[in-house]
Chain A
């Protein structure tokens, strides 16, 4: 494995150049005159509002996203097709919101009466003032326009060759490829990472997947057996933004940013005030590492089955401590307001948190009611004793440095199966359901630990957020995970509706994600209190139905996190106008759940309604 710092630049250039040389040569090969060229595109503009906000006090701007997309395809003959697709996306929310949308921020150091469980909040559309009582914020301006050419603008550039009888093909370029049978929650659909920045999992599947430079080879081994080989030389990880109030690393993803995690000492249940976090993405170096995959597809048991294997990298990170900074002069982690910013290496940071008499001990003694003035561990650095401010000293805080580490391997095998259950005919029109089954076994999936051994006191444990303060060896472990989908699709005809024009298409999916030795693992760091269930279960339900001769399409999607009792629902009402060139749409999204109770609950303050207009040509 190669990480961003471990290979010579020249190696990257070679591999990238070779890939692009192949691409360019491929584009030169089809010399036939272009008699089959197509181009099209769309302009989508939306405006909306977020309601059910954190502070319940405002009802201002909501998702105001836009997309400009241009596509072109050229098929000079039946053996060659070239596709280009470029899109520019953005969200005017950050400009329109005037700083009103709030997200949870650091633990509030002024609220010992709440056991420091009260939190500051932050603006997600304007930078922080760094002035009490409302110091935090981040403008999110970088999300107004997603305009990095290779990473964000270029959606597809590919060329595909096939042999004369169409039994073998190779596709080279930047594109996405979907695997598996599951919708929404990924089991085998892992070839491409996901862009969760704009509408999290509620966006269309093809808009979430992040395309990657890829070579895909497809061959029919026999009439009923085909093999697909995938080589991805550019490793991409999922894109998301944590709403981070920490002044020296403030970031905002707006309502669809991941909320800043609660910082909780797990044994006492007390909040951990005066702590911030600076996040650094650690990823494998582009073009210096690769992902490979294969899929064997065949007919079996009256249906279609696949065997899949993937050897690549995780799309979501584990969190690894890399050090810290002590800010002497600021309670709110503001380095510019500090008289000294003292860098701490990993051992020192671990000591400052876990060593006897240090931060965790202090929090626990507060919880136990045994803390006394003078116990505050930062007093030796000239810091003010928060139990005795009158004694003088500087306000102090600590920013921990973490890597969001995407370099862990993902090794998965699995199979999928789908079948028209024609033996089972249901409803007034005797329509059969279609079953979808998918199972994946991931080996050695990396998790952050929710509980680690106390580095200083053998036999003692550190739980919750302090478990993130350790070496990678201490804080990260690996488990096998088995994910299963059982899904049904059905065309619903209503018995009382004699002349129903078209069916209501419904899908139901049940997911079970089993993790071996699940105890004391974080579901996703840095959410330290969200644990991995032995069997994490989800249920999803969709429906699609056309009204008024399909000029109005209703489209609903519900997701239940059964293990965490959280819920999300998206309702779309799409209209067709001007010969379907103009598509007005109303979209409502609702999230419900307890704080940090699973992925869906992360957006519990992000309910939205959006009206959009799409013009396509």
Chain B
């Protein structure tokens, strides 16, 4: 943990023991405070303190007013099992007595309670948090007129003038999605949950079926929304990146033999334009163009993380090649987005094991399927649970071409409650078929976001950045 992050944590811990400022109507905050008092765990107290302030209340209320619901209000309409409440710990000893568990907990996590591969001791249910995005995104969404977007025959998001919706508008599309395509675009619109993203650093551990570390990569990852920026300069669309919606950059810092490997990927709004993808290869000391059509390879040897799975799912929307089907609304247990304060996965120092009880919260989601129509993509189907507050995935399941589950993705976001910005804290990309996992730990560099420039997405400048 970086020093400044530790300071933040300690400050929040201290704040957690100060008198409450909670007001009536913020039950979710009260729930967290009482829960934290029950567990006595400092990280829980710190999270309760992090959300217990006026800024959070105001922003949460504005989003609630706009959406007409909160996670709590949606859950209150459901009949949930009696045990499914904060404080309950699911273990291998009691799981057989919970017949409802398969309806709420992905099979991957059920198996972790009894398996020797990436085992966990238990799953503690924590209170449900009310998540939201930035105020600027809310304001931009409010400004949208009626029926602002359509999806054309290629599956592109277009505005009423026929322009690319991601380029011309900053607001979120289809916040009440009626079908899989609309939900897919809402998910896409979450982007990375912020205008700029900076991981300093991300650790990506390749772990085998014996939970041993095979390789570990340390890297910087940068991300910039190139259109529809609402909170960080340059606002609006970024000059010089016309037609581009997002840009991602990767700079590997270790191991030594790939240190300096740098990649930049630019995503065009046009469905017919493949990503602009460049890689600086240290062993050549030269930049190579890679095809944007091949996102199915692992980012680096040994990893389960492919280029198409940056931010859980980044392969390009195209209704000619994929079918997007809304399956149902679903209540699931999912990792909380509390990464700004602590890691609910509690990844062990060996980078491969989860050291104790993990935390999960009950979340209202939409479940949709992305079905490959070409019979050529690495996955025949992707099943995505999209959170109804974050509009980001809560859990992904990826099915191989034989119809068997191949990989899953689950993560914890580093969500900044006072601003509604998201980055990441940790993730597990597990290859269920071969019992391998990529375990990711992130230090999100909130204090360095202002230093990001467009040049990071210029491979010739990025290559010399190390």
Contacts and interface: CB of A to CB of B under 8 A. Distances in A.
A352 B455 CA distance: 66
A183 B297 CA distance: 22
B85 to A, nearest CB: 41
A220 B291 contact: no
Interface in B215-249: 215-216, 239-241
B78 interface: no
A499 B213 contact: no
Interface stretch (A103-111, A276-284, A424-432, A516-524): A424-432
B273 A422 contact: yes
A433 B291 contact: yes
A580 interface: yes
Interface string A358-386: 00000000000000000000000000000
B460 interface: yes
A553 B20 CA distance: 58
Contacts of B296: 429, 493, 503
Interface string A478-509: 00000000000111010000110111000000
A42 interface: yes
A549 B436 contact: yes
B376 interface: yes
Contact of A205 (B277, B284, B454): B284
Given A431-B293, A580-B215, A206 B461 contact: no
Contact of A551 (B239, B276, B302, B465): B302
B294 A431 contact: yes
A81 B256 contact: no
Contact of A489 (B274, B288, B402, B461): B288
Contact of B208 (A38, A162, A420, A549): A549
B97 interface: no
B430 to A, nearest CB: 13
B302 A73 contact: no
A226 interface: yes
B7 interface: no
A223 interface: yes
A169 B463 CA distance: 12
Interface in A159-179: 160, 162, 164-167, 169, 171, 176-179
B256 A420 contact: no
9 contacts: A41-B256, A71-B256, A78-B465, A220-B458, A223-B240, A226-B460, A550-B206, A550-B302, A553-B301
B178 interface: no
Interface of B is mostly: loop
A63 interface: no
A81 B464 contact: yes
B285 interface: yes
Contact of B434 (A432, A549, A580): A549
Interface residues of A, number: 76
A7 B238 CA distance: 54
B117 to A, nearest CB: 14
A434 interface: yes
Contacts of B256: 40-42, 71, 616-617
Interface in A573-616: 576, 579-581, 583, 614, 616
Contacts of B298: 501-502, 550
A218 B463 CA distance: 12
A152 interface: no
A418 B283 contact: no
B286 A218 contact: no
A420 B277 contact: yes
A576 B294 contact: no
A540 interface: no
B76 interface: no
Interface string A175-214: 0111111010000010000000000000011100100000
Contact of B257 (A42, A73, A220, A489): A42
Contact of B301 (A81, A228, A546): A546
A430 B376 contact: yes
A251 interface: no
Interface string A69-87: 0010101001001010000
Given A503-B297, A614-B257, 7 more contacts: A42-B256, A160-B464, A165-B455, A167-B453, A489-B289, A502-B298, A503-B294
Given A434-B290, A550-B301, A580-B214, A166 B458 contact: yes
Given A73-B466, A549-B434, A616-B257, A425 B461 contact: no
A237 interface: no
Contacts of B293: 420, 422, 425, 429-432
B442 to A, nearest CB: 17
Residue among A180, A431, A489 with the most chain B CB within 10 A?
Answer: A431
A579 B213 contact: yes
Residue among A418, A420, A422, A498 with the most chain B CB within 10 A?
Answer: A420
Nearest to B290: A434
Nearest to A302: B273
Contacts of B81: none
